[in-house]
Amino acid sequence: MEKIKINDTYLILKKGDITEEDTEAIVNAANSSCMGGGGVDGAIHSKGGHKILEECKEIRRKQYPNGLPTGEAVITTGGNLKAKYVIHTVGPICLEGKLTLEKKELLRRAYWNSLKLAKEEGIKTVSFPSISTGAYSCPVYKSAKTALETVIDFIKKEDFLKEIKFVLFTDDTYKEYSKALKELLNER
Ligand code: AR6
């Protein structure tokens, strides 16, 4: 685990299963249907139970009949999870594994809008998975840099959250995030 403090916020990298986290909110790497899927999305829906899906259906009906656009975020309760809330966001799909400038901006928006929504809801502790680096094929190291850069920018600008965690599922993903964080801190 790695833990650093930026202003009044702890930024943590850890290996683990995000469905076990007890931060107030966990973020889901969803797809625009918001109806569940594989990967971390599948794990959150299966452990959280049908309540999450019911709330997602309601959000689709009322707010996003054509689906949740890439880079946007919505919130439901956490159902049976330890986390009280789930923030659902949609990251970009990286064709041929390339994080182009356009995809990078969409990935930035997914992290930023998740944090913005947390703040609006008065949530002070949030866990993120590595959005877009599984089924959506974005390169881990570059995506990690974008994710960490965005979160650090948010902390410096908004100064509200107490703790932001990246809960990384594999050793490799953890290593890449750790490397990206070191590089970012050296650059700044
Ligand atoms: N806890 C933390 N991270 C996890 C967990 C978990 N329980 N399970 C997987 N990961 P992915 P994406 C990691 O594919 O690339 C879904 O089908 C995984 O190792 O879950 O944004 C959705 O419905 C990887 O590092 O999300 C969408 O259709 C990271 O989570 C699509 O996949 C993201 O992998 C979204 O693709």
Q: For 28-63, write each residue's pLDDT tens digit.
A: 999 999 999 999 999 999 999 999 999 999 999 999
Asked if the model's pLDDT at residue 101 lies above 90, the reply is yes
Q: Is the CB of residue 81 below 6 angstroms from any atom belonging to ligand 1? A: no
What value does the mean pLDDT of the chain take?
97
Provide the whole-model pTM. 0.98
CATH number assigned to the domain comprising residue 45: 3.40.220.10
Q: Is the CB of residue 17 below 6 angstroms from any atom belonging to ligand 1? A: yes
Active-site annotation holds for 41: yes
Q: What is the domain extent for residue 149?
A: 2-187
Asked if the model's pLDDT at residue 84 lies above 80, the reply is yes
Total domains in the fold of the chain? 1
The DSSP annotation for 54-119 comes to HHHHHHHHHT-TT-PPTT-EEEEE-TTSSSSEEEEEEPPP-GGG---HHHHHHHHHHHHHHHHHHH
pLDDT confidence bin for 141, thresholds 50/70/90:
very high
Enter the tokens of residue 44: 């959150």
